[in-house]
Structure 1
Amino acid sequence: MEIKQTAMAGTLESSDLQIVLSQGTKGIEFDLTSDVAKQFGNDIKATIKSVLDAYDIENASVKVVDKGALTPVIKARAITAAQRALDLKDQPNWEVL
């Protein structure tokens, strides 16, 4: 699916994560800012990528600011951002959840 609009989900509070999805042209491109990027950066990206794959998003620019979010929070924020970016707010993809 193609991203219709830039979308954001999450906050910059402790134990949360903010994600911004926008149109991309070269696959999934990540810009990750996190104090724990060396330890968990690949896991954060993999969690987000799995959500984008579930929505068939092949091209996206993904800006992520992590403040210590756990995996379920990362997944929830990615789902929310994807649904907003695809303009599916009122039509959730229950299989992804």
Structure 2
Amino acid sequence: MKVDKKARAGTLESGDLFVTIEPSEKLEISLESPVKDQYGDAILQTVRELLDQWGVESGRITLADQGALDCTIRARLTTALRRAGSQGDKS
């Protein structure tokens, strides 16, 4: 999937994740989280798995985590990917 436009999903409320996706020549993932030291690797692994499933090879992914569960991370990223992609859905 190609990231064609900027898209967002989620909120900055406690227990949620705010995701921004933008077009970029390479894949860039940045994470801000109060629990980054404890759970940062697990959050990034979840994000990379989902990006692999969608076939995303480039784009700037910015994550502002507020203690989101894995299911919330997946839901927010999936929504942002659907909004950002040319296909509008997973291929």
TM-score strictly above 0.5: yes
What is the number of residues matched between the two proteins?
90
1:53 aligns with: 52
1:15 counterpart = 2:15: yes
CA drift at 1:41 = 0.8
> Structure 2: which 5+ runs fail to align?
none
Counterpart CA distance in 1 for 2:44 and 2:17 is: 12
1:31 partner SS:
strand
Mean alpha-carbon deviation: is it higher for 56-65 or for 43-52? 43-52
1:12 counterpart letter in structure 2: L
1:79 counterpart = 2:86: no
Percent identity, please.
37
Dislocated runs of 4+, deviation >3 Å:
none
TM normalised by structure 2 equals: 0.91
2:4 aligns with: 4
Counterpart CA distance in 2 for 1:30 and 1:4 is: 17
Counterpart CA distance in 2 for 1:84 and 1:6 is: 8
Counterpart CA distance in 1 for 2:57 and 2:70 is: 22
1:51 partner SS:
helix
RMSD value, Cα: 1.4
Counterpart CA distance in 2 for 1:45 and 1:68 is: 13
